[in-house]
Chains A and B, each alone.
Chain A
Amino acid sequence: MGRYIIRRLFALIPVILVLTFIVFTILHLTPGDATTIILGSDYTPELGAKLKVQLGLDRSLPVQYFHYLANLMHGDFGMSYVTRAPVLDQLGVRLPNTAWIVVSAMVLCVSLGIPIGIRAATKPNSVFSQFAMVFGLMGVSMPIFWLGLLLILFFSVRLGWLPSSGLDQGLKSLILPSITLGFNYMANIMRTTRSSMMESIRQDFIRTARAKGVSEHDVIYDHALGNALMPTITIIGMNVGTLLGGVVLTETVFSIPGMGRLLVEAINQRDTPCVLGTLVVMAICVAVSNLIVDLIYAYMDPRIRAQFGAKVRKA
């Protein structure tokens, strides 16, 4: 298993290389001069030219790119054009806020989506199942930024229960953002769990298990679920990226100073190093979470686990 993880980590390197190259090139095609942004009203052609040399912006694109990469290896994301502070410091301040929302949204979705999906699959003609299907369809069609506004209107303005912005009230202020961010995700998880569970219940080995007298609970949660969870895990992993995209919207709706807001502010202020840094960190987050999902997948699937000589769980 250790070797597998190491191999996968090494496979991340080309992904990050190509990604930074693309983003770097795209951002350098941006019309306009970075020095005018940095100097603002102090801009004079002489000062601008001097700063250009200082920042290495007078060199060719490949040279600039290799400098950027070399700095990146040392954990140096460059200097923000606007605040003139290291980008890394800004990222360090913003990252925890984003992480809080993402993690709580994920926990919420997985802990609600999977059980609802299982229940809807085991009782396919019940009112609960019908309700779950309508809810699932609404969930995948709901624009989350609108959902966020509706939640604020109802829970903050009408009822006054929960704060409508910021993260300074602890857990209480996490509730609305995580529901907003996770809504599509939860619906997706629920729908996938339901359909793969229904598929799995129809299989022969379930009939065998029932025939040999395994209790209904064990049939569902041990025999059927073990097989049905695979597609769900794939969906969970595939949508981590979407979740990070949703962070930008959720943070805008709830005015939370996180990575998403940072990215939007940086784009508006044409702060190239900051845009680049935020995108790189987000891409690494997506790649790492995909790796984690793959590992869970490998752990859950006895066929893959067997390749690494781990002990196979008794069914």
Chain B
Amino acid sequence: MMPASATARPFTTKKEFYAQFKKKSIAYELWLRFLKNKTAVIGLVIFGSIVVVAIIAPWITDYKNVVIKMNIAERLQPPGSNHWLGTDELGRDILARIIYGARVSLVIGISAIAVSLLIGLVLGGAAGYYGGRIDSIIMRAMDVFLSLPDVLLALAIIAAFGNTKVNLTIAIGLAFSPKFSRVVRSAVMGVRDNEYIEAARSIGALDWRIIARHVLPNCIGPIIVQVTLYVANAILTIAALSFIGLGIQPPTPEWGNMLASGRTFMRDFPHIVMAPGLAIFFTILALNLLGDGLRDTLDPRLKH
């Protein structure tokens, strides 16, 4: 792009002349490569809009007077000009609840994955870097956790500690951490035998420093991809737990519990289960598109 057009006219300044030899930053090149992947960009745009809407929710609608306040006179209205997506069984505007629901899902989903990423980095990093006995002890322990489906593991933790938002975050974070440990471990193993690691060790760098400064930054690619895909999974898990009544409790709006409470009325008022379902579907779809796109961008060899 730039060199081709730059050679078309003579260079006026020294600065411009040297600029064409300057290497563009890796991040910028990756960004250009990412932009070429149309579906990934669509994913980013959808997810970005959901995040923006969630952030500006208090300016769009009023939590106390619209989102959680009953209004029996207007219950179960179909979508119309007053209520774009209709109202639910207690007369609350569904659109407003969907918007506030995004806040709950995104905050818990992202912080849960932050919890599992932290655990995964420590355990997976140690297992992958040291190998040998440490590796087999950590990974055998992870195998045990992996033998229980993550929804069930989260359920067991919730059964014991109750379902507050913090517990939900920790439960989902813990439930996903074995998978992260595996991802981090295999990424670390791919990096640890490189010469620059040996070089770092030979100048006397401490293990934790080598892991934090040299190993982890070089396996950031696969980890970012997994983070994107697992945030989707975490959001789905919150919705699932709320749907069976063990997650976020009403009147706090959450997409899963909106579906659960709307179920009873769906035969006569199908609109009540349409919007929350679509909200979950598009969020997950956007994150999946984004994750697939990032994988193609960061590791072209793995292209599907």
* A residues with CB within 8 A of B: 14-15, 18-19, 22-23, 26-27, 29-30, 137-138, 140-143, 145-146, 149-150, 152-153, 157, 191, 195, 241-242, 244-246, 248-249, 252, 263-264, 267-268, 270, 275, 279, 282-283, 286-287, 290
Contacts and interface: CB of A to CB of B under 8 A. Distances in A.
A148 B156 CA distance: 24
Contacts of B277: 143, 146, 149-150
Contacts of A141: 232, 281, 284-285, 288
B67 interface: no
A137 B285 contact: yes
15 contacts: A22-B144, A26-B156, A26-B159, A27-B160, A30-B160, A138-B285, A149-B259, A150-B273, A153-B267, A264-B155, A264-B246, A267-B155, A267-B159, A268-B246, A286-B147
Contact of A145 (B240, B284, B285): B240
Contacts of B144: 14-15, 18-19, 22
Nearest to A284: B147
A79 B259 CA distance: 34
B280 A143 contact: yes
Nearest to B243: A145
Contacts of A195: 304
B269 to A, nearest CB: 11
B30 interface: no
Interface of B: 140-141, 143-144, 146-152, 155-161, 232, 236, 239-240, 243-246, 256, 259, 263, 266-267, 270, 273, 276-277, 280-281, 284-285, 288-289, 304
A146 B259 contact: yes
A267 B157 CA distance: 10
Most chain A C-beta atoms within 10 Å of own C-beta, residue among B146, B151, B152, B245 = B152
Contacts of A19: 144, 147-148
Given A267-B159, A275-B159, A283 B147 contact: yes
A2 B30 CA distance: 51
A15 B147 contact: yes
Contacts of A268: 245-246
Contacts of A18: 141, 144
Contact of B149 (A26, A146, A286): A286
Given A242-B151, A264-B245, 5 more contacts: A18-B144, A26-B160, A27-B156, A146-B280, A153-B273
A270 B160 CA distance: 9
Nearest to A147: B277
B147 A153 contact: no
Interface of A: prevailing SS: helix
Contacts of A30: 159-161
A192 to B, nearest CB: 9
Contact of B244 (A137, A146, A249, A279): A249
A210 B268 CA distance: 59
A145 B245 CA distance: 13
A245 B151 CA distance: 5
Contacts of A14: 140, 144
B143 A15 contact: yes
A190 B298 CA distance: 24
Contact of A143 (B140, B151, B236, B304): B236
Query: Could you say which of B157, B158, B240, B284 has the most chain A C-beta atoms within 10 Å of its C-beta?
Result: B240
Contact of B288 (A27, A140, A264, A283): A140
A283 B285 CA distance: 30
Nearest to A249: B240
Given A15-B143, A149-B277, A268-B245, A248 B151 contact: yes
Nearest to A154: B270
A311 to B, nearest CB: 32
Contacts of B152: 244-245, 248, 263, 279, 282
A219 to B, nearest CB: 22
Nearest to A164: B267
Given A141-B285, A241-B149, A249-B240, A146 B273 contact: yes
Nearest to B268: A157
Contacts of B239: 143, 145
B263 A149 contact: yes
A270 B163 CA distance: 13
A268 B241 CA distance: 12
Contacts of A244: 149, 152
Question: Which 9 A-B pairs give the minimum distances between C-beta atoms?
Answer: A245-B151, A146-B277, A245-B149, A241-B149, A141-B285, A141-B284, A267-B159, A26-B160, A195-B304
Contacts of A23: 156
B267 A157 contact: yes
B73 to A, nearest CB: 27
Contacts of B280: 143, 146
Nearest to B154: A245
Nearest to A156: B267
Given A19-B144, A245-B150, A248-B151, A29 B159 contact: no
A26 B141 CA distance: 16
Contacts of A241: 146-150
A102 to B, nearest CB: 12
B266 A287 contact: no
A125 to B, nearest CB: 16
A252 B244 contact: yes
A267 B158 contact: yes
Contacts of B147: 15, 19, 241, 283, 286-287, 290
Given A245-B151, A249-B240, A286-B149, A145 B259 contact: yes
Contacts of A264: 155, 244-246
